Chains A and B, each alone.
Chain A
């Protein structure tokens, strides 16, 4: 709860305050992170819900009920770790824009923290929609060409998914016995017929698949990532899309275990198609942001494919990769933003030889690329290993097809790096200014995290292990009961 209120308060103060706008915002985001870290230090990852708060809201069944389990903690950490860094990425930019943008980023943080802690279906839905509002304004107000149309499409698309989700939740709500309830436990306990479960599941699924996005619900993504300002792309790709995965884990799998095997087999297929599809398209993109967008689409496909295996390796691989994908993609967008700010271009055909101008930047950017390529001892590798293993074990053909990602990703990422960083700088090219401290700090933290979690992935896995095992048990129990 405090994790929701603190950034919200920060947003208000920073918005109303006349000066020191960025300092105030940053301070609040750091305070939120500090609180989160403190909670982490007293958190016991045994699969139970902790830091629980539960007060009636509208009635007995519609409550403000929040709590944190292992997976929630992981995603909270991700959100609260990345928000200060996203703020840092704006530090040296247009202060006029920041007056409004920074509060919106904090508002987003607040909503995201709400999503990851809600244990009441309606509360979850409210936060889910709430998160859409700041990102909408960020993208529509400060995006590049065509932003209005693109953002509107994004908004309608995800909103379209949410409507189905709401319908499913409402249906479940009406199915709860006695006094109706949106409480997670009540919704889980609802007994559905096979057909009901199928429709309810499909409604929930569509919302989450759009948000992730899984093939073929992805066409809003590349446009939106490309048109949004860098901070918006970071929020969207780093944190917001994890809402989709979180939704799958918390609000889909345990709610309709009757049908997940059949539905997930389809999701698995689509996800693997997406891995290759996104990877191939990324091979030929020339806009750095668009390339990274398709790369991200390919990577999240692998996460979805891992979840679809319904195995512990797939779940744990998904958990660790959700976290690390967030770090890597934010690092990439950060780097691209640094390039764009200096060179006025994101086009690979116009960038050359930046490595010669700034060695520090070249190294930090390289680390981000290596993390994305999932070189061992960077953070991308453990998740990729677990996910590919899980997919391979459940279907060898899917495993090999999804495995193509290790080739494709190396090809497009290194192409991107080479074209932007290597070669000889063109004559008319403006000089590449050295990194300012805020950029240095932000990229430096991300690069360190990439290495640290590559060498020590186990703490992340320990955090979510009990939650994931329990979830799997709930699912298997329910399937066996049937």
Chain B
């Protein structure tokens, strides 16, 4: 098939799905779900074909739609490219996206906004594809804003609930703070390189045609954009709130795809980041801090989705650690495995919530193992994968990141390791409290418990297989396999791949250390939550550090005090004092003076506006009359 038509299929099918579902979805009833799913499946097939083409020839395939904007030297094309990086992202977005659409058909079945849900999901897929397929920064920005909008629409999907709406707005506005950084980055790129096209920009970077301080400013600005979309400190607090959206949304947007946009962008711009050690350091430390802080908060959350949300923030932090170390392949590897196991975990939590008739507090659960075996086993696989159980997908990708961290700075390695340990800890806690022990909910809930329908369990099983075997895409050398598949695949897009070779012994040692941590976490949590049957305490009875973690380090409250409140006060002050009193007061005062002067006139005239009009017209006539005689 013609490669241009592949682009058309990939981009236009989800858009068509959005339009059809948006305009006529109500009449389609349940067919709208299948239509929406098909609108993602077709692009998936087309992506496979592009992937195949890239496997044979790594030259990027370009596709230009039309020139979008042209003001002299400022030109923006609506153009796209499929290269080795974007095809990988394509497969994740459409592949995982397809599974989640399938799942949603059953999950959202009873919702009155069923068709609307699929319309938004399709629009999201379209935006995400714009983001990864664009061949210049502006098209990426289109997608970037588009996914933000869809995220907003889907978080606030159940719009009758005002707190959901608030969470949606928070997500959008926080993202926009990052977007301003990204926009500044774009302007600096244009200022420095005179173009937005990736290939032209990167070529100029490689020939050294830039000022180093501007390049660093560009990289830092782009990273600020990434902190918004990929939920890093300081802009991460929107993501846990975003769990207000339906669970498939959390799986698709807030775990597998959109939140990895910042990582995609950085890998895309690796040429630039290579020459900006300062920006990479910033990334490394931000990632490290985020991964630790979010993991710690995750320890004390009792909402099943909130735990997963903080876990996502923490895992994204891991990816930024990798990027900060220049280990782009490791970052992307983790994007992939994370997409598998985190989508799995979220969909699993959706299955649980479905069975619990909407309840999300793990303290009301327990013993779900026997009621929903498929969910149980697949959730276990997800938990093991994220915790880094040997030879599951997460084990390889996380190890690669920790190795890169060790190479970068020996002293930071323990911090990363500790973060991985905490991850294993809160994940097993979540797992045990939810699925083991005795059921703690109400009798009606207990009566209602059931395994989810096959449309939901099927995606779970597929994702479980991927979570187990996902590691094969980039096996380390010590496994003896030819290995490093992803690494080699990405060679054409990565300018300078740092390859550290480690001895077999040291690699085993690192893997062993991580595994040891995992086992320790397993034993500790099992003893506490299974053997001793401890139920996590309520928020009110938490003490000391636990209370602080439970309260999420009070970061939201701090933002309220430091940013939101002062802004509101400023707004009120500007309005009441500056605008109404000072500026308008001055205007009114000068008006009063004029009026006082005009009192004399008022004795002759009635002083109303018609007179002013008349005077205006008359004076004009006088002026004209005078002119006639000059």
Contacts and interface: CB of A to CB of B under 8 A. Distances in A.
Contact of B165 (A125, A312, A407, A422): A422
A376 interface: yes
Contacts of A284: 568, 571-572, 575
B71 A386 contact: yes
Contacts, number: 155
28 contacts: A58-B627, A62-B624, A136-B609, A151-B609, A153-B587, A180-B627, A219-B579, A277-B574, A281-B575, A283-B567, A284-B572, A313-B72, A376-B141, A376-B145, A389-B187, A392-B187, A393-B191, A403-B184, A407-B177, A411-B169, A415-B169, A418-B162, A423-B159, A424-B160, A457-B68, A458-B67, A461-B70, A465-B71
- Which of B142, B145, B156 has the most chain A CB atoms inside 10 A of its CB? B145
A216 to B, nearest CB: 5
A382 interface: yes
Interface of B: 22, 67-72, 74, 138, 141-142, 145-146, 149, 152, 156, 159-160, 162, 165-166, 168-169, 172-173, 176-177, 179-180, 183-184, 187, 190-191, 567-568, 570-572, 574-575, 578-579, 583-584, 587-588, 591, 594, 609, 612-613, 616, 620, 623-624, 627-628, 630
A361 B191 CA distance: 42
A152 B141 CA distance: 46
Contacts of A385: 69, 138
Interface in A248-291: 277, 280-281, 283-285
The binding surface of chain A is classed by DSSP as: helix
Interface of A: 58-59, 62, 122, 125-126, 129, 133, 136, 140, 151-153, 155-157, 159, 166, 170, 173, 180, 216, 218-220, 277, 280-281, 283-285, 312-313, 316-317, 353, 355-356, 363, 370, 375-377, 382, 385-386, 388-389, 392-393, 399-400, 403-404, 406-407, 410-411, 414-415, 418, 421-424, 457-458, 461, 465, 469
A282 B579 CA distance: 12
A80 to B, nearest CB: 25
A403 B152 contact: no
Contact of B190 (A62, A126, A389): A389
A157 B587 contact: yes
A378 B460 CA distance: 37
Nearest to B569: A284
Given A140-B609, A392-B184, A418-B156, 19 more contacts: A133-B613, A156-B591, A157-B587, A170-B623, A218-B583, A285-B575, A313-B72, A316-B71, A385-B69, A403-B184, A404-B180, A407-B173, A407-B177, A410-B173, A410-B176, A411-B173, A414-B152, A458-B67, A461-B69
A250 to B, nearest CB: 20
Contacts of B187: 388-389, 392-393, 399
A414 B172 contact: yes
B142 A376 contact: yes
A251 B126 CA distance: 46
A407 B169 CA distance: 11
B393 to A, nearest CB: 34
Contacts of B162: 418, 422-424
Given A58-B624, A281-B574, A458-B70, A375 B169 contact: no
A248 to B, nearest CB: 19
Contacts of B22: 363
Nearest to A133: B613
B80 to A, nearest CB: 15
A125 B575 CA distance: 34
B627 A389 contact: no
A159 to B, nearest CB: 7
Q: Return the 8 tightest CB-CB contacts between A and B, nearest first.
A: A219-B584, A376-B142, A422-B159, A284-B571, A283-B571, A280-B571, A392-B187, A316-B71
Contacts of B180: 400, 403-404, 406-407
Given A406-B180, A414-B172, A423-B165, A356 B571 contact: no
Nearest to B175: A410
Contacts of B176: 406-407, 410-411
A147 B612 CA distance: 17
Contact of A418 (B71, B142, B165, B624): B165
A280 B570 contact: yes
- Which of A159, A388, A411, A461 has the most chain B CB atoms inside 10 A of its CB? A411
A423 B160 contact: yes
Contacts of B142: 376-377
A376 B146 contact: yes
B571 A313 contact: no
A312 B146 contact: no
A414 B173 contact: yes
A369 to B, nearest CB: 11
B204 to A, nearest CB: 18
B208 to A, nearest CB: 23
B183 A159 contact: no
A187 to B, nearest CB: 14
Contacts of A122: 624
Nearest to B70: A458
Contacts of B628: 58-59
Contact of A375 (B67, B149, B168): B149
Nearest to A422: B159
Contacts of B591: 153, 156
A388 B74 CA distance: 13
A159 B71 CA distance: 36
A370 B624 contact: no
B583 A216 contact: yes
B630 A180 contact: yes
Contact of B172 (A216, A317, A400, A410): A410
Contacts of B177: 407
A431 to B, nearest CB: 16
A377 B69 CA distance: 12
A313 B71 contact: yes
